[in-house]
Amino acid sequence: MSEIRVTYSGFIAFIIGMISVISGLIVTIIITRSLTSLEFGTWTLITNLIGFIIILEPIISYWATREIARKTESGTTAVITNGVFSCVAILVYIVILLIVATQTDASFDIMLYAVILVPVIFVNRTLTAVILGFKPHIASYGALTYGLIQIPAILFFLYYLELGVVGVILSAFSGYSISALVLFIFGRERLHRNFNLNFIKKWFKLSWLTLYPATFGFVSLMDITIFSIITGSVIGLSYWGAAMVIPIIITQAAGISYAIYPKILGSGKNDFLRNNFSLLFYFAIPLAAISITFAQPALFTLNPIYVIALPVVIITSVFVFFNMLNTTFYSALLGKETVDVDEKSTFKDYLKSKLFHLPTILLIQYLIYIPALAIGIVMGIANKFSEIELVILWSIIALVTHSPFTFYFYYLIKRDLSVSLDYFRITKFLVLSIFSFGISYLLIENYLDYEIDFIYFILTVIGILLIGVGSYIALTFATDLKTRELFNALIHKKL
């Protein structure tokens, strides 16, 4: 029986996630106000290329979470193996860089320097996967450490030493390194077992199954690369990168469901999912409302030159909301699959399992999205679209090609897990969010002065934000019994 407390772990993940968003926003403001559009576009491209490499990492960590959740001690072997495997990933990064860098106006030398991030990210993610299998809430500590370390690091490397994009890379390296150390300390109880070659044999024997999901991961990351290659510039990426900073808060709602994957793996039960999904919407809907309502003040805070990307933020907020639901439903479905428990499972058994079927759905999604994006950008250029118009088109294509799959994943949840959403409560959260943040919107339109001192501007925005959040919490507390029960459980530490 799994001892994982889903709501407890979810709340810790959510709270830490929100703290990480705040620290990340501070770091991003420093970056966007210190770098030129070309430099920020270069950093956006670097993070995308690193993403291409990271899709190789689950070859090991994918199984580590599943095995440790089922009391199989493979943590030591996973961390050491992925540390060595990162050396191969470095070579792959250099090869990809040689292909992409020559097609854009980004600096090759700076992008090559970013290779130092590959090994620390590999180790960090593997340690997170190990801890996720037995104490999901502790895995969040790594993200918190990363966010807190980055603030002084970015001030030192970017403000004090004035190293530009290299300073951003070094601050990220510092954050990942110290985060990995913290994760190792908290996860050491599962990292003292002997190195076991049998685990490696199994992982690489089944590597086709973990590399297959990496296929859709690889395709999904092609959007930024394709945009930069077709347009020949990273300026549009700076608009996209700035716009995507704001909807990232919506993804933090998924922290509430962070522990459902290891919980289902360890216990096989899913009777807690309906309440967990309602709690997910309780946070996700107002966070989406915040992203949309405060889009313009947030872009102005990043840098006034990015206010032009307001339509992108509004559209991508809806896109990110649906994508967050995709990820959550995907995790629940994946946790229910038991084909890997039986060592006699054949290749055919794995092909019939959710471990193969679910990634296939996502692969189809991205095989629709990427060609549609490429065609849309080419047509936009032919019609002399400006950089921002191309980015707006990009956001529309992303939303249209992703959202239908959310409904299909929900269909699978209802069919395979016999779980349906509480439509009445979710509708209530939606109506109360519109009312609460509608008030915030009116205050922004009528009382927010963009010409005042920057500090006073930030304090005014925070004040208006607190009015919206406070209204939402008060209204849901007054009108929803389960919300009152939740707060009571929080107060008495009975989650």
pLDDT of residue 22: 81
CA distances from 353 to 69, 347, 360, 422 (A): 19, 10, 11, 28
| Type of residue at 104 | T
Q: Report the distance separating Cα 45 and Cα 105, nearest Å.
A: 11
Instruction: Please report the pLDDT score of residue 38 as a whole number.
Output: 81
Q: Could you tell me the CA-to-CA distances from 362 to 100, 371, 410 in Å, in that order?
A: 25, 15, 14
Query: pLDDT digits over 155-208, tens only?
Result: 999 888 888 889 999 999 999 999 989 888 887 777 767 777 777 787 777 777
- The alpha helices in 232-336, defined as continuous H runs, are 235-245, 248-251, 260-267, 273-293, 295-302, 310-336
Q: Per-residue pLDDT for 216 more than 70?
A: no
Percent of the chain with pLDDT over 90: 29
Mean pLDDT of 370-396: 92
The chain-wide mean pLDDT, for the chain, equals: 84
Q: What is the arithmetic mean of pLDDT over 49-60?
A: 78
Q: What is the pLDDT of residues 459-475, one digit of tens each?
A: 999 999 999 999 999 99
Quick one: tokens of 221? 């990351």
CA distances from 91 to 94, 116, 375 (A): 5, 12, 31
Q: Which amino acid, residue 2?
A: S
Structural tokens at position 380: 């936009």
Query: How does pLDDT run across 436-494, given as a tens digit for each residue?
Result: 999 999 999 998 888 888 889 989 999 999 999 999 999 999 998 888 887 887 776 66
Identity of residue 475: L
Tens of pLDDT, residue by residue over 344-364, are 777 788 788 888 888 888 889
Residues in the chain, how many?
A: 495
Q: Residue 303's pLDDT is what?
A: 86
| Segment among 26-35, 278-287, 357-366, 370-379 with least mean pLDDT | 26-35
Say which range, 27-31, 303-307, 318-322, has the weakest mean pLDDT: 27-31
481-491 vs 273-293: helix crossing angle, rounded to 10? 100
How many helices (DSSP H) and strands (DSSP E) are in the chain? 23, 0
235-245 vs 295-302: helix crossing angle, rounded to 10: 130
Question: What does the alpha-carbon distance between residue 57 and residue 118 come to, in Å, rounded to a whole number?
Answer: 10
Q: What does the CA dihedral 33, 37, 42, 48 come to, rounded to 10 degrees?
A: 80
Give the per-residue pLDDT at 1: 43
Encoded tokens for 94: 């250099």
